[in-house]
Structure 1
Amino acid sequence: MSVSIASLNSGSNGNCYYVGDQTDGIFIDAGLSCKETEARISRLGISIRSIRAIFVSHEHTDHIKGIAVISRKYQIPVYLNQTMIYNGCVDVQKELVRRYDANQPVRIGGMEITSFPKYHDACDPHSFIVRSGTVTVGVMTDIGRACEQVVKYFNMCDAVFLEANYDEEMLSKGKYPYYLKNRIRSGRGHLSNREALDLFLNHRAPSLSHVLLSHLSKDNNCPDLVHNLFSEHAGETQVIIASRYNESQIFRIGEVKKASLETGQRTRHELAQYSLF
């Protein structure tokens, strides 16, 4: 059994991540317009009507922009934590609101989604892992630091959307005002390339086959720079940049080892799909 994953978009202009099995799918965040989400999921060959739930990491606009229309149009339940529900910070029809609690799995079809708190400048931000069969996928963006919870769940992942938001030198020398630079690197902002690489090198599981570097800053990062930084140390793990301009390809997690054994010749490098950015 395999799990399919894709990034519909990743960046401050909108975030939406797809995880699905053979019958059902979910979105982690929905920060694109309904029209754009429909177009991108359709180009991937996935019916938006197969989406069974939307899980919301936090209330920033680039993560929730499309939720009101998408959830209402397709009657998709939206999972929020209690703080988000209490504050009313996400526009969702009352009958479509569902609750998730930290470290308590939620079952959607054959998938089990577990949230965990993280450091970010939002009211009660969470990241997620999604399990289906023996496969675990992480969605870990908008992370101020690699705290104990992030390390714990990262170590479980066979594939992960991992934030690599900024290059420290580019941010320091860039045009952002001083207060914004400090917010980004405060420990409650975003994860730098170096911090993401440290997490990757020190805590990845032997089974980690794909890392999709996500939420890259348009002004303070460079896709080639961070791709090369990770690729130098990646070994058998495939390194993909999740674009802020278009959807990725679909990556099927859990098939690579099986396919390699069956052919006896083709390696994981040959089997992996690459996204354009």
Structure 2
Amino acid sequence: MQVHVLASGSTGNAIFLDFNHTKILVDAGISTRRIKNSLAELGTSIEELDGVFITHEHRDHVNGLATMTKKYNTAVYASMNTWSAMYCRDLIPDQCCKVLPGSLRIGQVQVEPFSISHDAADPVGFRFYNGDHKCSIVTDLGFVTDTVKKAIALSDVLVLESNHDIEMLEKGAYPWHLKRRILSNRGHLSNFDAGWTLARLERKPSMQVFLAHMSQQNNDPDLAMETVSSILTQQGCKLGSEIELYRTYPDRIVSSNL
């Protein structure tokens, strides 16, 4: 199993999962050209994708869909409410629009969505099972519910939101209504909350974690790593063996390989 975060952040999100004979894209919030070029760097093409799975309808997760589906006729899975709320739904060919079920098998992979707390129509995270391997993705949420904890437990690879540093956000230039939205239970997860989520999570002996969806205004990749690492170390976790952390970026690919 290979996990490649093609882009992560408020300007666009896309994650490519390569399970050898099954290839999946989670979100398409960057241009089709960027997705095509990124996949080409990894030795894959859009035509090889078995499906695109959408977490929610916000533009930074769906901006590339219209062009991709028109040009490549790619199958896209999203919940009914997400399709209804999606700004570009009318631009996507009907045959490409698949309603996301509670669970489905695609190629060699079992896909199971789970509900998350975010200010969207029907936001979800995803867990992907391939043999003994599990990959979970949860990148836009204001609060880690018991449902989320259970869903992401015992993952081999986890893509987890680490959106903002609370102090940077509170002292930053955002208007108060936007700060309040981000800090709410339906907003975005802070570095602090990401660290404590990992510290309290039921884990396998080793896990790879991508810290994702970092704010360019209210966070810094090094600060996110420092905050999360500090919490994990204080709680007795051995970094690099029990948990290996990866920074993610809006403009470069970050990869792991199991």
With structure 2 as the length reference, what TM-score do the two structures score?
0.92
Q: How does 1:241-260 map to 2 (within 5 A)?
A: 241-249=247-255, 251-253=256-258
Q: Deviations over 1:156-185 (max 9, x none)?
A: 311110000001111111111111100000
Equivalent residue of 1:114, what SS? strand
How much identity, in percent, do the aligned residues show?
31
Contact residue 110 and residue 130 of structure 2 kept, 8 A:
yes
* Structure 1, 78-87 or 173-182: larger mean CA deviation: 78-87
Number of corresponding residues:
248
Equivalent residue of 2:254, what SS? coil
* Structure 1, 168-177 or 199-208: larger mean CA deviation: 199-208
Q: Deviations over 1:29-48 (max 9, x none)?
A: 00011111111111122222
Q: 1:150 to 1:47 in 2, by over 3 A?
A: same
Q: Deviations over 1:86-128 (max 9, x none)?
A: 4454422111111113xx2211100111101111111111110
For 2:157 and 2:98, how far apart are their aligned partners in 1?
26
Q: What is the CA-CA distance between 1:10 and the residue it aligns to?
A: 0.1
Which residue of 2, 5, 19 maps to 1:4? 2
How large is the Cα RMSD of the aligned pairs? 1.4
For 2:112 and 2:41, how far apart are their aligned partners in 1?
28
Contact residue 56 and residue 63 of structure 1 kept, 8 A:
yes
For 1:85 and 1:12, how far apart are their aligned partners in 2?
20
| Structure 1: runs of 5+ lacking an equivalent | 254-277
* Structure 1, 223-232 or 237-246: larger mean CA deviation: 223-232
Contact residue 38 and residue 48 of structure 1 kept, 8 A:
yes
Which residue of 200, 224, 227 maps to 2:225? 227
Q: Does 1:39 align with 2:45?
A: no
Counterpart of 2:209?
211
Q: Does 1:17 align with 2:15?
A: yes
Report the residue type matching 2:95 in the other structure. Answer: E
Q: 1:208 to 1:137 in 2, by over 3 A?
A: farther
For 1:6 and 1:88, how far apart are their aligned partners in 2?
25
